[in-house]
Structure 1
């Protein structure tokens, strides 16, 4: 397979929404473990510090125990937050296949509040087709839940 073919097989999920809040308010919800638990999942060992490793627990499948291994890759306060999102097992096909992706949140002040852009990148197709489809649908539910969580916390 050529390098161009390999690159074209990588896909990303993008969700882009305007929140009627200042970037600092959204940042707190993205980088505080107790807040993350309200709109996504309960993280274990979470700190918004580059190099920090933490986990989420989801439904196991086959040889995979359901643990999502994350590592904070980038922290630009009130602007950008990125972390690795890894899980699955090489022996699994479909749900629970090996996944090595990156979740990036970007915040940009706009007249209406803050543009929140989520990019979950690095899905290898067809190997990660099930995760790409499920998480694509999932993030479209989770981002509005984030918005509702912030509204409740105000």
Structure 2
């Protein structure tokens, strides 16, 4: 028994909220570059297409330039969006340590709106303790912002239904 290798402990951030918006409205906020920039960070090169690679820029730390490399993994319009989220540098401990995770948004029709479930999975502990703690709090704010911005999504003309390209 003692000779078996222990798998690293991984954790996920899970948030589950009901927003008073149609799933089409939430989807527009999740997949339109200008709107994503308002509730999270400005994406660079985002398109809701499987295989598409894009980035976010956040605060650099140590050897890490602050660039978050993402790739769209799954797209089911108005139901699910999933993307890989990688960042950090191997020379960093704490903030800016290597991170290789997956962000998944799931939308389900609910009474009076849409249930929005965010799962950010793959935090390897203890290596990603700092990211897990910081992002647990950060995603709560981001999800509140998403709710607020989604209210503006219906006001966008149809030509803005796809993310802004950079």
Q: Same fold (TM over 0.5)?
A: yes
TM-score, normalised relative to structure 1: 0.95
Quote the residue 1:108 is aligned against. Answer: 108
Shift, 1:150, TM fit? 1.2
Task: Tell me how many residue pairs correspond in the alignment.
Answer: 152
TM-score, normalised relative to structure 2: 0.88
Quote the residue 2:136 is aligned against. Answer: 136
Quote the residue 1:35 is aligned against. Answer: 35
Shift, 1:151, TM fit? 1.7
Structure with more of its chain in helix, by fraction:
1
Query: C-alpha separation between the residues in 2 aligned to 1:30 and 1:6?
Result: 33
Q: Which has the larger radius of gyration?
A: 2
Matched, 1:62 2:62: yes
Q: Work out which structure has the larger RCO, using CA pairs closer than 8 Å and 6 or more positions apart in sequence.
A: 2
SS of the residue corresponding to residue 59 of structure 1 reads coil
Q: Structure 2: which 5+ residue stretches go unaligned?
A: 155-166
**Are the structure 2 counterparts of residues 22 and 100 from structure 1 closer, same or farther at C-alpha, using a change threshold of 3 Å?**
same
Shift, 1:153, TM fit? 3.7
Deviations 1:30-79 (A, max 9, x none): 01111100100000011010000000000111111000000000000100
Quote the residue 2:7 is aligned against. Answer: 6
SS of the residue corresponding to residue 41 of structure 2 reads coil
Query: C-alpha separation between the residues in 2 aligned to 1:2 and 1:124?
Result: 19
Deviations 1:6-40 (A, max 9, x none): 25x00000010001111111000001111100100
